[in-house]
Chain A
Amino acid sequence: MADEQKPEGSGAPPPGGEAAKPPAKPAEAAKPSAPAKPAAPAAGAAAGGHAPPKPPPVMAATPWDSELSRDVKERFGDRIAEASTYLGQNFFVCKPDAVISLLEFLKLDADFDYLVDITAVDWPKRPERFDLVYILYSFSRNERVRVKAYIPEGYKPETAVGVHLTANWLEREVFDMFGIEFAGHPDMRRILLPEEWQGFPLRKDYSILQQDQRWVQENMGIESGQ
């Protein structure tokens, strides 16, 4: 632990994640050593809307047109918000309530029979706070596709366990780290952290130094883990 803290204290990027970024800026800018450093705050400033009011940069994805994307669009209509490709990787963005039927369609009709991963990304400033990301692969087509849905805080997406058994642990991890609860999941418990742990570490408002102090004191018999 002590080792991990040192690099943070001694300069470079701020420890507190998003929250601690602005106060750390002047210190970084003042440092003559690295011309690279100001670049990070500059990007952050663009997102935060400083002097030059630039719109926040977005992913330069291009529309994805293929037999599959047309099929899916035809079938799901306006429940598919986007079918795009970025760096040669294809993805659908769909309405949160359409995810499971889309996964089912992709599995049964398009042979995407392997659910590689489920994960989430936290964007606290957005009204739909989380990206829910499903990565699928098809053995027969040798092709990967991602399914994304934007969900607000507190929304309970339906579980994918009925479509892919592997979703069980993957969804538990998403719940553990982001606090996204999956409706209908057979065993919605934390998986990596202790069950009584408070807080969801991969949310952006959870600082990297933050801990559940009460849990640490009660279970480890020490004042603090820091």
Chain B
Amino acid sequence: MPEQTFLDSTELVLNMGPQHPSTHGVLRVILKLDGEKVLGTDCIIGYLHRGVEKIAENRTYAQFNPYVDRMDYVAAISNGLGYCLAVEKLLNIETTPRAAAIRVILTELNRIASHLLWLGTHALDIGAITPVFYCFREREEALKIFEKYCGARLTTHAFRIGGLQYETYEGFEQEVKAFCDMFLPKVDEYEELLTNNRIWVGRLEGVGILTADECKEYGVTGPVLRAAGVKWDIRKALPYSGYEKYDFEIPIRQNGDTYDRYIVRMQEMRQSVRIIRQAVEGIPEGPIMGKVGKVIKPPVGEAYVSIEAPKGELGYYVVSDGSTQPYRVRVRPPSFVNLQALDRMVRGGLVADVVAVIGTLDIVLGEVDR
């Protein structure tokens, strides 16, 4: 070994987080650097671990329902939908057409709210301050609809096993339609700010590439997978809650870089509006609660049900021992699985791009840690 001179670079270990603002919560990434270059990462997670799966085993099926909202708290309605569908599957029942349509409307509104939060914070991380104000302005309108519907804005507990607790309020349809009319031009506005912005494109293009094969290998789903050219969306592949009735596209891109993931999510918001418009036009009349007993007691068995949450495949594996409490609830969180690919995406890149990649993965630490 030659003697080390001052020109030799040594590996530098840098701690990023858990309080770093761009980690979107309490993610700690230990970066191994050679100058500006990332040699490797190690994610330390679990700061928000609350033992959600353990809590589930000590609650009845209905009692556990509000807890799921606390995982991906920016898309609480999606969490609730997945859980309700999983228990309904175990009970072997289906909800009513009216409840299914309202569920779709609220879930898609929540997808928009979630994507808006992603866009705002992602742009903020990159250095564009303006979009976050625009995004929160429109997100507020979606949250107002949730608040009027069920009284809560974030952790909504909007759905019940078997259907819905609340009927829609007076003027719900009009307000949802008004939101759609208002929102589409706003997406154009965001795109005007960012899509051809030279700094934005320069910071995102070719950064954090994940190919289709790598996505499958790492189990990465959602917009990240679609930006790599895989036309796969659970709403189309294995439709639930009546998604097969709605006409919409799955936006895809080919490069699998951060810029493509941005484009995919922008188009997804447009598609969500398209779904909401169709759903709100023809909400069927009828009851909002399916045939569920007062006591929820599924027969002995197990089921895995997953939905397309804003971040990817959100699955619930529920095991029943025939009692009123679930024997086991396993949550398959998209954020947790997607985060695992972080190392692959940033290795060999620049340290400044780590922030861009964490942003583009759209993780929520409440869901990573559960």
List the interface of chain A (C-beta within 8 A of B).
4, 7-8, 12-15, 17, 36, 39-40, 43-44, 46-47, 57-61, 86-87, 89, 113-117, 119, 121-122, 133, 135, 139, 142, 144, 146, 164-166, 168-170, 173, 177, 190-194, 201-202, 204, 206, 208
Contact = CB atoms under 8 A, between A and B. Distances in A.
Interface in B289-303: 294-295, 297, 299-303
Nearest to B370: A192
Given A43-B322, A135-B304, A135-B317, A142 B237 contact: yes
A166 to B, nearest CB: 3
Contacts of A14: 58
Nearest to A133: B317
25 contacts: A12-B60, A43-B323, A46-B322, A57-B299, A60-B300, A113-B216, A114-B216, A114-B219, A117-B304, A117-B330, A139-B230, A139-B232, A142-B238, A146-B304, A168-B340, A170-B337, A173-B336, A192-B49, A201-B54, A202-B53, A202-B54, A202-B328, A206-B54, A208-B57, A208-B58
B242 interface: no
Interface in B317-331: 317, 319, 321-325, 327-328, 330
A86 B54 CA distance: 25
A164 B218 CA distance: 7
B323 A166 contact: no
Contacts of B237: 142
Given A164-B217, A169-B337, A13 B300 contact: no
B45 A192 contact: yes
B294 A36 contact: yes
A13 B58 contact: yes
Contact of A208 (B55, B90, B322): B55
B51 interface: yes
A59 B324 contact: no
Contacts of A87: 89-90, 92, 301, 303
B315 interface: yes
Given A17-B57, A202-B54, A191 B46 contact: yes
Contact of A15 (B58, B295, B302): B58
A32 B304 CA distance: 36
Contacts of B46: 190-194
A177 B300 contact: no
B313 interface: yes
A15 B319 CA distance: 19
Contacts of B347: none
A216 to B, nearest CB: 14
A133 B327 CA distance: 15
Given A14-B58, A166-B220, A206-B54, 20 more contacts: A4-B55, A12-B60, A12-B63, A15-B58, A36-B294, A39-B295, A40-B324, A43-B324, A46-B322, A60-B300, A86-B302, A87-B90, A114-B216, A133-B317, A133-B330, A166-B217, A169-B336, A169-B340, A193-B49, A208-B54
A166 B218 contact: yes
A149 to B, nearest CB: 14
A166 B340 contact: yes
Contacts of B325: 13, 40
Nearest to A122: B328
Contacts of A58: 300
B298 to A, nearest CB: 10
A206 B57 CA distance: 12
Contacts of A191: 45-46
A117 B237 CA distance: 18
B277 to A, nearest CB: 27
B306 interface: yes
Contacts of B332: 116-117, 119, 135
A60 B295 CA distance: 21
B338 to A, nearest CB: 10
A36 B324 contact: yes
A197 to B, nearest CB: 10
Contacts of A165: 217-218
A44 B55 contact: no
A58 B337 CA distance: 32
Contacts of B324: 13, 36, 39-40, 43
A85 to B, nearest CB: 11
Contacts of A204: 57
Contact of B322 (A13, A57, A206): A57
